[in-house]
Structure 1
Amino acid sequence: MSVFERIISGEIPAHKIAENNDYLAFLDVSPLVMGHVLVIPKQPEDYIFDINDESYAGLWLFAKSISKAIKSAFPCKKVGVAVVGLEVPHAHIHLVPMNAVSDMNFSKEKLKPSADELASAAQKIRSFL
C-alpha cells in the first residue's frame, strides 16, 4: 500500500485541501515553496497516463479548481504544474505557486515547515475554495 493510499484511508494524517469521492488534494509536507499541493486520484494507478480517460479528465478539472485557490492564497505569477511520478507509485499532480522557474526545481532542498505552518497554509487555501 502506497503512502497516498494510506493518506486516503486516513491511516496517515494529511493537511487536506479538498476531497470528493474520486480525488484528494493535500499539502506536500516537504514543499518546494509554501502552498505546494499534491492532487491525486483515489483509485490507485502508478502511471498518470494509465488512468482511464474520464478519471484523467476529472483529475485535471479537480486540480484546476485547487490551483485557483492556491493562487489566491499565495499570490504568485502562476501556479506551476508537474507530473513527476517517481517518488510514490500513485499518480499525482504537483501544484506549486511560482514566481520564478527555480520555484519548480525538484532537486533543490525542500522546506521543512512545522505542523502549525502547514495547518495555517491549508486553511488559507481552503478559504478560497
Structure 2
Amino acid sequence: MATLFTRIIDGEIPGRFVWADEVAVAFATIAPITDGHVLVVPRAEIVQLTDAPDEVLAHLIAVAKTIGLAQQAAWDAPRAALLVAGFEVPHLHLHVLPAWDEASLTFANARTDLPGAELDAAAQSVRAALVAAGHGGRVPAELGSPALA
C-alpha cells in the first residue's frame, strides 16, 4: 500500500509543491511550525533515515540546503532548521523551516488551524525565492503538481 506521501507525489492527495526533481520533491506541510515549513521527500518509498542509500540521503540534504537558503531569504530568518523524526508517516522526510531560535523548533508548535490560503501564500513565497535564486527549473509549474518543470 502506498504511503501518504507517495499518494501526494502521485497526485491522489493535494500537495503544495515547491521543488521537484528525479529523486525528490518538497511540499508544504499542513502543520507548519513556522511559515514556509516544507518537507523534502524522496520519490522512492524509504521508511526512515537509516534505510536511505547514501546517494539519496546526500541529495535530500542538498535539496534541504537549497530550500533553507530560499526560506532565509523569503523570511529574513537568521537560520534554516532541519528536523528529522518520521514517526507520523513511514516515508522518509526532512522538515526544513526558517528559524529564529531553538526553543521554537518543536512539533508542539505546529499549527494545524491555518487557512489554506495562508499555506498557499507561504509555499508561493518559497517558490518565488527559489526562482529568484536561479532554481526555477526545479520549481514545478503549478503549486499543486509535483511534475518536473
RMSD of aligned C-alpha atoms? 1.2
Deviation at 1:97, TM superposition (A): 1.2
Q: Deviations over 1:48-87 (max 9, x none)?
A: 1211111111111111111111111122121111100111
Structure 1 spans left out of the alignment, 5+ residues: none
Structure 2 spans left out of the alignment, 5+ residues: 131-149
Q: Secondary structure at the match of 1:112?
A: coil
TM value normalised by structure 2:
0.82
1:36 corresponds to which letter in structure 2? H
Q: Deviations over 1:11-32 (max 9, x none)?
A: 0111111111110111111111
C-alpha change, 1:26 and 1:91, in structure 2 (3 Å) is same
TM value normalised by structure 1:
0.94
Partner of 1:6: 7
Equivalent-residue separation in structure 2 for 1:109 and 1:41 (angstroms): 22
| Deviation >6 Å, runs of 4+ | none
Partner of 1:121: 122
Partner of 1:110: 111
Partner of 1:95: 96
2:100 corresponds to which letter in structure 1? N
Decide whether the 8 Å contact of 1:32 with 1:111 is kept in 2. Answer: no
Q: Secondary structure at the match of 1:21?
A: coil
What percentage of residue pairs aligned between the two structures are identical? 34
Deviation at 1:114, TM superposition (A): 1.1
Equivalent-residue separation in structure 2 for 1:38 and 1:11 (angstroms): 18
Equivalent-residue separation in structure 2 for 1:109 and 1:21 (angstroms): 29
Equivalent-residue separation in structure 2 for 1:103 and 1:51 (angstroms): 28
1:121 corresponds to which letter in structure 2? A
Decide whether the 8 Å contact of 1:96 with 1:104 is kept in 2. Answer: no
2:22 corresponds to which letter in structure 1? N
Q: Secondary structure at the match of 1:62?
A: helix
Deviation at 1:109, TM superposition (A): 4.9
Equivalent-residue separation in structure 2 for 1:36 and 1:107 (angstroms): 14
C-alpha change, 1:8 and 1:76, in structure 2 (3 Å) is same
